[in-house]
Chains A and B, each alone.
Chain A
Amino acid sequence: MISHLRTMWLVFIHLFKKKVTIEYPEQRVALPPRWRGRIVLTKDPDGGERCVGCYLCAAACPVDCIALQATETEEGRRYPEFFRINFSRCIFCGYCEEACPTYAIQLIPDFEMAEYKRQDLVYEKEDLLIDSQGKYPGYNFYNVAGLDAGVKEKGKGKDEEKPVDVKSLLP
């Protein structure tokens, strides 16, 4: 009996407290920047695709909802020929972002992805690619990766020596 009265009292005093719920969608929730929402593919500072098609996100994905195919430009720069995320399977765990060695795949604070048809939740590269560097401005994988893929020449990257002169021993 006392318990019932106590419960009713607690409910009653909540009438005078500040409301937690908000009038979504008129009113928007403030999401922290590290919120794990919609997945995007970002771009390098030079505007090129950051994704190098290394397949690590696909391997890390616990629900196997990422499929891609890597290909190369003539200079040897890798990029995905197609990149597909099946958001009807995605659990927004963020493992793909963690696995990504080039900061290409990022989860952003956007969760408004509802669709009437499940098929519309399959996102292709065109749907994923954004014209921004996302959370890591200034990073370009090829500047630290050693190889020459049209971004910088050998030896011009960060912490690289000039290419070895194989003939330095010749008199």
Chain B
Amino acid sequence: MPTIYIDNKPFDVKAGKNLLEACLSLGLDLPYFCWHPAMGSIGACRQCAIKVFKDEEDTRGRIMMSCMEGVKDGMRISVEDDAAKAFRAQVVEWLMTNHPHDCPVCDEGGSCHLQDITVMTGHNYRRYEFKKRTYPNQYLGPLINHEMNRCIQCYRCVRYYRDYAGGKDLNVFAAHNHVYFGREKDGVLQSPFSGNLVEVCPTGVFTDKTLKEHYTRKWDLTNAPTVCQHCSLGCNTISGERYGKLRNVVNRYNSEVNGYFLCDKGRFGYEFVNSENRITQPLIRNRTIEAAGHDAVMQHVRTLVSGHTLIGIGSPRASLESNFTLMELVGKENFYQGITDDLVYIEQKIVDILQSGTIHTPSLKEIEQADAVLVLGEDIWNTAPVMALAVRQSVMKTAATHSTEQVPLPAWHDNAVKELMQEDKGFLANITLLPSPFDEISTVTMNAAPDDIARLGFAIAHILNPSLPEVPNASEALINHATNISKALQQAKHPVIITGTSCWSNALIRAAFDIAAALDMNEKKAGLAFVMQESNSMGLAMMRASSFDRVVANVRNAANVTAIILENDLYRYIPAGEVDAFFSRCKNIIVLDTLHNRTTEKAHVLIPAATFAEGDGTFVNNEARAQRSSQVFMPANKEIKESFKWLSDIKSSMTITANGHDKHPDDLMLALESKLPQFAGVSRVAPPHDYRVHGARIPRESHRYSGRTAMLANMTVSEPQPLQDDDSSLSYTMEGYRGMPPSPLIPFFWAPGWNSCQSVNKYQQETGGSLKGGDPGVRLFEQTTAAPVFSKDIPDAYTPRPGKWMLLPQYHLFGSGELSVYTKGIASLSPEPYISLSKRDAEMSRLNNGDPVNVKTNGKTYAFPLSVNESLPDGIMLLPAGLTGLEAQDWGAWVNISTVIV
């Protein structure tokens, strides 16, 4: 470990880092703009100047950019040197000559890196008396606001958008003192990661348009650490509330999961919490006055529950606490998953693989560090976008490592490394149903039907491990692809295979496992990552409950059935006919949910549940990492509470011995561990509710939180007692422990002098490393030495049937999410329903783009316009999944079409 002398004090620093990283890791305040821990250094802004001395005798030294200079043992530098300080102050003064005087109306104000750095360098009085440059702005879509006047030309936006995220439509235009960062013309930013510009931009050029609708400064938000609800990756987020409304979601750094970046669905898809469609009052239907209070509902529910056959239907988007409480209430044998048999089977297979410990499942960070990636069937661009971003980094980093092996260049030297690697790319094989924006960085792409993709997988596994069965009747193209891919995987040290449930094919899961296990046996550290559908799909699958099909079979002969449905719109997962049939067998239907939907319409008793922001909950992500999401705010409406609280109330109202106390989420997790041993470790996800630091709680509010004595003064001038939260050690006040909280309980990132999100530096063990005290979350399954069991059952090649099409879902990042479409901006980017057929199929059926097509499935007919897709394999029909108003389909079934001639 090299020792460097900073202002004559020795420090041990990590080798291979640059001086800026070293200084920041040591906790020193050194200003910077263009450097970003995820993107390396380019030395563009000249802000991080320091003095470097030749040796101990050298008193003059030279001013150098700390981000462009690697650490060397025995190096002597000075951060506090007068010349270096004057240099930095001068650079900020230059940058500020054109910066507008609009902080009061700038959304970045109060969490602005430029403000922080200007204050840090001591520039506080404007000497420049001439005119300021102005720029026209652009419309960049419904999610991002553009105010180009504020730009300081650090180039971070284009470096992030183009180099890191692979976007194409944001660029730098013009030259010298009037460079312009924007699009070629007004229009929606195409990258699904454009929201990160808000955090990447050190000033207010790119700001969050959804926050603008109900603008609140960072210091005024009540924040809590939350987990994103919109896909199975479980990205860590910070959600902020003010005046009873959720105001924004920003990234919460977790080096193992999302790192510095979120996707737009996760960042902007929070508005469902504030939706007018929320269920706000318990309802007992078929009464003159349907609205009921808590006690009335409990009394009524007790009569429905006791003496009836109870059925509980869990939810892949409800927390572990809620699912477990429901399981406890109805009994393990009466608890069902509320998803189809096919999906339960696939998810069960995934849980079996993970639980067996035969293979390692990588975190997103490990995917970033993989040196060869094979995506087998899963459309990760749409179903797990941040994973797609991680795969992109893997491709780029592999190429960079390859280049720097030949020429000794430090990895942080971004421009030089890019120059060296040119168009070189790491290995990525993207084998999916449809082409994706990913294909341009893929070495091998192939579009095929799920069964054919699985066959390719088995063919690769056979090449890697010849003891595995050969794929019968394999075509030459398939063998070629398999040979190429297996060669690349064999050469890699850390190959990663990615697959998932969106193709509804269990053969894919088996094939992916065979490849990963075959690679692992060859003394490599291979990883197998699965993508699930919802935020807690893994948690629910791990409870190993039966499918919806089983409950339908079981209630057929039962009388007096009371069904309790937990936060699950069954019509989204199950074809409507089956759900209707189930409901017709149920005497009483009790539904707990957050938003009105088709299932809640059927409820006899409807109970308002809390969203993720209004309650605590533990969610298990795709790598079986359990993570705690904390309550951001207590709804003013006392009827809204977490489902597990409602269910505990129901349970205690049934038993006479109940003492009436609420159970803490911690107690529930301990009970879950003892009942279901596969969840061992889940109680360690976050510190217990009575955790205190020197007797103090961790405040959700910043020390500058304003308006305490006026916020509620319109209702009553006497201030109420602060809200009491006994479920976690976070408090609803400004008072409490202001030091470094344990990583699962970081409510927001802030450090003295660092108000922007860049303050995360202070929370990390080293810049870009893990959070102090370790990253939050507990991985429930780890690899053991168990021997893999390979699959023998290889599917036949997919052959289109005349006049019939296999119906498969197409997921859309914007539109397929049940909750995210409540954000207006996301809804406006959602596609209209369509039917996709291959070009040959459309020609055979004499159909053109836009023609109305009728699909018959499950005894129902749906009419949608046709969208001809040239890359779609023949014999497959795609329908967008999960769009608002679209019913769940029997995915994987064969359907007919009929045309309507208009």
Residues of A at the B interface (CB closer than 8 Å) are 52-56, 58-59, 61, 63-72, 78, 84-86, 88-89, 101-102, 118-119, 121-122, 124, 141, 144-149, 154-155, 159-169
Contacts and interface: CB of A to CB of B under 8 A. Distances in A.
A88 B133 CA distance: 46
A67 B710 CA distance: 5
Contact of B135 (A145, A159, A164): A164
Contact of A54 (B104, B709, B713, B717): B104
Q: Which 4 A-B pairs have the closest CB atoms?
A: A146-B100, A67-B707, A54-B104, A58-B706
A168 B709 contact: no
Contacts of A164: 133-136, 174, 178, 180
Nearest to A64: B708
A154 B220 contact: no
B493 interface: no
Contact of B103 (A59, A72, A78, A101): A101
Interface stretch (B211-219, B476-484, B850-858): B211-219
B217 A59 contact: yes
Contacts of A56: 104
B704 A124 contact: no
B125 interface: no
B172 to A, nearest CB: 10
B104 A88 contact: no
B711 interface: yes
Interface string B97-140: 00011111100011000000000000000000011111111000
A165 B149 CA distance: 13
Contacts of A154: 134-136, 149
A64 B217 CA distance: 15
A163 B147 CA distance: 12
Range, interface on chain B? 35 or more
Interface in B685-727: 704-711, 713-714, 716-718
Given A101-B104, A145-B105, 6 more contacts: A64-B708, A69-B214, A70-B215, A122-B717, A147-B105, A154-B134
A58 B175 contact: no
Contacts of B109: 54
Contacts of B713: 65, 67, 84, 86, 122
A161 B132 CA distance: 6
B709 A147 contact: no
19 contacts: A55-B110, A59-B706, A65-B713, A67-B706, A67-B711, A67-B713, A70-B216, A101-B103, A101-B104, A102-B104, A121-B717, A122-B710, A160-B134, A164-B134, A164-B135, A166-B173, A166-B174, A166-B182, A167-B174
A149 B174 CA distance: 25
Contacts of A52: 104-105
A167 B178 CA distance: 10
A147 B708 CA distance: 32
A61 to B, nearest CB: 6
Nearest to A155: B134
A101 B110 CA distance: 14
Nearest to A84: B710
Contact of B102 (A58, A71, A145, A163): A145
Tell me the interface secondary structure of chain B in the complex: loop
B102 A89 contact: no
A96 B892 CA distance: 64
Interface in B716-775: 716-718
B173 A86 contact: no
Interface of B: 100-105, 109-110, 130-137, 147, 149, 173-175, 178, 180, 182, 212, 214-217, 219-220, 243, 704-711, 713-714, 716-718
Contacts of B131: 159-161
**Residue among A121, A163, A165 with the most chain B CB within 10 A?**
A163
B282 to A, nearest CB: 30
A162 B136 CA distance: 10
B132 A146 contact: yes
Nearest to A145: B102
Contacts of B243: 69
Contacts of B147: 147
Contact of A119 (B178, B220, B717): B717
A59 B220 CA distance: 8
Given A56-B104, A69-B243, A146 B709 contact: no
A119 B178 CA distance: 55
**Residue among B105, B133, B217 with the most chain A CB within 10 A?**
B105
Given A166-B173, A168-B174, A58 B105 contact: no
A86 B102 contact: no
Contacts of B212: 72
Given A54-B109, A164-B180, A147 B102 contact: yes
Contacts of B102: 145-147
Contacts of A101: 103-104
Contacts of B705: 64
Contacts of B103: 54, 101
Contacts of A160: 131-132, 134
A10 to B, nearest CB: 45
B134 A162 contact: yes
Contacts of B219: 59
Nearest to A141: B104
Nearest to B145: A76
Contacts of B704: 59
Contacts of B178: 164-166, 168
Contacts of A70: 215-216
B134 A53 contact: no
Given A59-B706, A66-B710, A67-B706, A118 B133 contact: no
Contacts of A167: 173-174
Contacts of A85: 710
Contacts of B710: 64-67, 84-86, 89, 122
B105 A169 contact: no
B180 A166 contact: yes
Contacts of B133: 161, 164
Contacts of A53: 215
A36 B704 CA distance: 24
B144 to A, nearest CB: 15
A123 to B, nearest CB: 9
A101 to B, nearest CB: 4
A66 B707 CA distance: 5
Contacts of B100: 145-147
B19 to A, nearest CB: 35
A169 B175 contact: yes
A161 B131 CA distance: 6
B105 A86 contact: no
B217 A55 contact: yes
Given A122-B717, A146-B134, A147-B102, A65 B149 contact: no
Nearest to A56: B104
Contact of A61 (B101, B104, B706): B706
A85 B625 CA distance: 47
**Residue among A72, A147, A159, A161 with the most chain B CB within 10 A?**
A147
A145 B99 CA distance: 10
B569 to A, nearest CB: 33
Nearest to A102: B104
A15 B133 CA distance: 70
Contacts of B180: 164, 166
A168 B182 CA distance: 15
Nearest to B133: A161
Contacts of A163: 134-136
A118 B537 CA distance: 53
Nearest to A122: B713
Contacts of B132: 146, 159-161
A95 to B, nearest CB: 12
**Residue among B134, B180, B182 with the most chain A CB within 10 A?**
B134
B241 to A, nearest CB: 13
B706 A159 contact: no
Given A63-B709, A89-B709, A122 B714 contact: yes
Contacts of A147: 100, 102, 105, 147, 149
Given A65-B710, A66-B706, A145-B102, A169 B174 contact: yes
